[in-house]
Structure 1
Amino acid sequence: MIRIDHLTHVYPGSRKTAPRTAISDLSLQVGDGEFAILSGPNGSGKSTLFRILCGLALPSSGTVHIGGFDLFTQAAKVRTILGVVFQSPAVDKHLSVAENLRIHADLYGLRGAEFSRRRDEALGWTDLADRLDQQVATLSGGLARQVELAKVLMTDPKVLLLDEPTTGLDPVSRRNFLDALHRLQKSRGMTVLMTSHVFAEADDVDRVAIMREGVLLAYDTPAALKAMIGTEMVVVQAKDTEGLAARLRSEMGLAVRCIGDEVRLEETENGESLPLLEKILDRYRPEVLSISIKQPGLDDVFVHVTSRAVPDHALALDLRRTGS
């Protein structure tokens, strides 16, 4: 439903700055009815990609198709199937919930009984039924986000783009919003692409894409991404992180990495970790502050993938061929 082929975007330089490549030869696909999350550190190109997908910017090269339509030559047709929830609020806080919904419906030509039907359907999952006459400025962050999503759902989009929609929400509001989004996505069969830097939001989606410095480093299912760094890993906190890591490499021949104040032995399978943990403790107990065995999460995948050198992205190419 979303197909991006060899997309590149370069911001032009000036007298004082050199041109900057925000997206470099990016290709990925999101299938019909899939829920995908796009993540990456600040400056990874997520915002630029989102602006291009929304039709707010033209890339330097490459193509984008949404619902089979060329985004750049058939933009009007794309808009008929596309819904967008921006990171910054796109509702008028000085108007009521009902007034915001009415204005959005007018922009799409929804009137009369059809408007009432779609409005009621879009509000069905929300906590807004008794707040239609309430000014949006008086709502909590979670309820204001519900207004945003209800507004978009009125137009019955086949493809929904969301740019970090849970930013600023408390944990309960975030969970409620995401639960509702997943239910709606499944019941309506929508294709969803959402940017996020919170990996707890990515465990239940179909695919996760990780970018850094404009390059797609990985794109696959959450389970496949976790399997990249083994089923378990040994994590050590030491008095001298770099010193212990060097000794584990030279004296035990272990492939370890330093991540912050941790020494990590990744890419181990079930049954391998405990013997390694015992050997490390046997040799280096005085140097160890703590040691544990943990299952890798998507946050570990993110650290693992983004800490690799960007030019060495054969992994991303393999995943694009097999996972898209």
Structure 2
Amino acid sequence: MIRIEDLTHVYPGGRRQSPRTAVSDLTLHVPDGRFTILSGPNGSGKSTLFRILCGLARPSRGRVLIGGRDLLADPASARALMGVVFQSPAVDKHLSVQENLMIHGALYGLKGSAFRARLDEALAWTDLTGRLGDRVDTLSGGLARQVELAKCLLTRPRLLLLDEPTTGLDPASRRSFLSALTRLRRERGMTVLMTSHIFSEAEDVDSVAIMAEGRLLAYDTPQALRARLSGDVLVIDSPEPDTLAARLRDDMGLGAIRHGDELRVDEFPSGIDAVVLLERVLAGYRDLVRGITVKQPALEDVFIHVTAEARAARRVGAPESQETAA
């Protein structure tokens, strides 16, 4: 459904600012019917890539195909296949739920019985049936997001693009929204591409693309990504993480990855497991340990691992690979 080939986008500089590369030589193929999350920290290039996919920005170079349509050469044809949920609300909060949906339907020529049929279809999965006459600004954050998604579904898109749609939602609303997306993708056969910097949201989707500093670092199923870390992860909270990392390296030959005030160790010496290592760290460096735990690897751990590898590769001038098949 989505084919991105050698995509680069550079924001031009000015008198006081140098040009900035937001997306660099990115190649990514998302098959039809797949639920994919594009994840990474703020500033990783996710939002720029999203704007390009929506047709709101033209890349410096590269090619994008949506359902076989060239987004750059024939944007109207490609956009006709899409529904888009932006990070910022795109509904009128002073109008009712039904008024917002009617206006959107009218923009696509939907009225009368055709609109009512699409409306019933778009609302079938929501909790909005009894709230159609309510103004949007009286709804909870989760229900307001449901209005945004129902609006997109009126046009029966083949591709649904969502830019961090769970921002501002409480945990229960976030889980409900993600469950609804998964169900809709399965029932309607849509392709879903959603950006998120919350790695826990990507644990149960079909595939995950991880970006950092404009580059694609990894793209695979969540299970395959977690399998990159062969065992447990030792997480150490330290008041002096750099000092502890240096001592672990010099004394024990451990490569600890710093993430904030935490150190993560995901590669252990032969014959030593995470529990044994935990005991040795506590015995030898108790004054540098504020908290320590052993955990199963999650996608956040994979992200920390692959970004550390990418930084190390750049330091030694090694070429970085871009993984394009899940």
Aligned to 2:321: 317
1:16 aligns with 2:20: no
Aligned to 2:273: 272
1:58-97 correspondence runs (5 A): 58-97=58-97
Counterpart contact for 1:97–1:136, Cα < 8 Å: yes
Distance in 2 (CA, whole Å) between partners of 1:293 and 1:277 is 8
1:145-164 correspondence runs (5 A): 145-164=145-164
Aligned to 2:206: 206
Measured after TM superposition, the shift of residue 235 of structure 1 is 2.1
SS of aligned partner of 2:267: strand
Q: Note closer, same or farther for the CA distance 1:200–1:188 as it changes in structure 2 (3 Å cut).
A: same
1:52 aligns with 2:52: yes
TM-score calculated relative to the size of structure 1: 0.92
Q: Indicate the larger mover: 11-20 or 286-295.
A: 286-295
1:244 aligns with 2:244: yes
How many corresponding residue pairs? 322
Distance in 2 (CA, whole Å) between partners of 1:121 and 1:295 is 41
Aligned to 1:294: 295
Letter in 1 for 2:52: I
Counterpart contact for 1:218–1:316, Cα < 8 Å: no
1:39 aligns with 2:43: no
Counterpart contact for 1:216–1:316, Cα < 8 Å: no
Counterpart contact for 1:40–1:210, Cα < 8 Å: yes
Counterpart contact for 1:234–1:264, Cα < 8 Å: yes
CA offsets per residue over residues 137-176 of structure 1, 9 Å max, x none? Answer: 2211111111110010111111000001111111111111
Letter in 2 for 1:200: S
SS of aligned partner of 1:130: helix
Q: Note closer, same or farther for the CA distance 1:101–1:289 as it changes in structure 2 (3 Å cut).
A: closer
Aligned to 1:167: 167
Please provide the CA RMSD for this pair: 2.2
Aligned to 1:5: 5
Aligned to 2:193: 193
Counterpart contact for 1:219–1:316, Cα < 8 Å: no
Distance in 2 (CA, whole Å) between partners of 1:147 and 1:27 is 33
Q: Note closer, same or farther for the CA distance 1:23–1:208 as it changes in structure 2 (3 Å cut).
A: same
Q: Indicate the larger mover: 90-99 or 295-304.
A: 295-304
SS of aligned partner of 1:300: helix
Distance in 2 (CA, whole Å) between partners of 1:122 and 1:286 is 58
Q: Note closer, same or farther for the CA distance 1:34–1:316 as it changes in structure 2 (3 Å cut).
A: farther
Counterpart contact for 2:27–2:322, Cα < 8 Å: no
1:255 aligns with 2:277: no
Consecutive unaligned residues in structure 2, runs of 5 or more: none
Distance in 2 (CA, whole Å) between partners of 1:271 and 1:265 is 12
Measured after TM superposition, the shift of residue 136 of structure 1 is 1.2
Q: Indicate the larger mover: 252-261 or 181-190.
A: 252-261
Distance in 2 (CA, whole Å) between partners of 1:145 and 1:108 is 21
Aligned to 2:226: 226
SS of aligned partner of 2:131: coil
Q: Note closer, same or farther for the CA distance 1:303–1:311 as it changes in structure 2 (3 Å cut).
A: closer
TM-score calculated relative to the size of structure 2: 0.91
